[in-house]
Amino acid sequence: MSLLDEGTIYNLIAVEEQKRQKPPRYNSKFKDTVRNESTSNRNEHKTMGQAKVPVPTTDNYLKKHSKEPVLPNKSDFKYGDEDHKKPALPAREEKPLMGLKTTKNFITNNAVQNITSVPKRPEKKYVDTRNGDAHNLIPSGLEPIYVQKKEFGEVPTYLQKRKDEMIQAQEEYNQYVSEYMRRGAMQKLTEDERKAILDGLKTNWEDIHDQYQGLSVVTDTAPKKHRKERMESQMKQLERDIEIFEKHKIIYISN
């Protein structure tokens, strides 16, 4: 146990509290420069411009009743379909004209209309619950409708029309080709010629492909890059030509 922990008279002496001094506040040496730049780049009415309003004059002062809305002149209200309406009913006090009599026999007309009228056919319904909840039968799909049509199972009209148009276009094309062949402007390739050209295209593609496989992986120079792009374009063109010759068995060439 030390002397400081023991009770002594020195503990009664007031110890002056030492306050910690704060360091001086940081002031940037560029604050004046930043303030000048912010104020120099700030312009009034730079984007929108000043408001274009009329300059006030001394004689343009606020006058009495000048801000009251101007109402249109009053007019009688009229419905848009007033001209198409039936005439108004006669008043209760108005007496009918004497001597007016119609020759129409309402009893006979009603009897004839009832005899010649077609009775209304009841709608087809179905009940799906024991409580009698009825629904329309036709839109439900329970009754076959489309299979009972007259044109069921036949080729639709638009498909037959499309087929006729294709046949007509093929006939016109055949006439066009035969006309040019008669003039000697077109020539049909034989099967042997077509196969020979096709084999030559495939051989050229294989040669270019072998050269393409031998190129450097890294194209760090412009000549290497241009050579690679040129060989790729040649291979794509040969692939398109091969596809055309394989797809079309009959080929015509112009003389």
205/193 Cα distance (integer angstroms)? 18
User: Which domain does 180 fall in, by range?
Assistant: 157-254
Is the model's pLDDT at 160 over the cut of 80? yes
Number of domains the chain is built from: 1
Mean pLDDT, range 29-56, rounded to an integer:
83
Residue 176 lies in a domain: yes
pLDDT: which is higher, 167 or 250: 167
pLDDT bin (cut points 50, 70, 90) of residue 229 is very high
The reported pLDDT for the residue numbered 108 is 95
The reported pLDDT for the residue numbered 114 is 92
Mean pLDDT, range 89-110, rounded to an integer:
85
The reported pLDDT for the residue numbered 5 is 59
Residue 254, beta-bridge partner list: 186
pLDDT bin (cut points 50, 70, 90) of residue 151 is confident
Does residue 235 contact residue 208 with C-beta atoms inside 8 Å? yes
- In this structure, of 86-95, 107-116, 119-128, the range with the lowest mean pLDDT score is 86-95
Average confidence score pLDDT of the chain? 86
Residue 127 lies in a domain: no
Residue 88 lies in a domain: no
Mean pLDDT, range 141-158, rounded to an integer:
87
Residue 85 lies in a domain: no
Joined together, the tokens standing for residue 65 give 């009743």
Residues 6+ apart with CB under 8 A from 79: 85
The reported pLDDT for the residue numbered 201 is 93
pLDDT bin (cut points 50, 70, 90) of residue 255 is low
Residue 205 lies in a domain: yes
Is the model's pLDDT at 1 over the cut of 70? no
Residue 38 lies in a domain: no
pLDDT bin (cut points 50, 70, 90) of residue 88 is confident
pTM, two decimal places = 0.35
Residue 8 lies in a domain: no
Residue with tokens 């909840």: 133
Is the model's pLDDT at 219 over the cut of 60? yes
pLDDT: which is higher, 101 or 201: 201
pLDDT tens digits, one per residue of 190-215: 888 889 999 999 999 999 999 999 88
Q: What percent of the chain has pLDDT over 90?
A: 34
Residue 179 lies in a domain: yes
pLDDT bin (cut points 50, 70, 90) of residue 186 is confident
Is the model's pLDDT at 44 over the cut of 60? yes
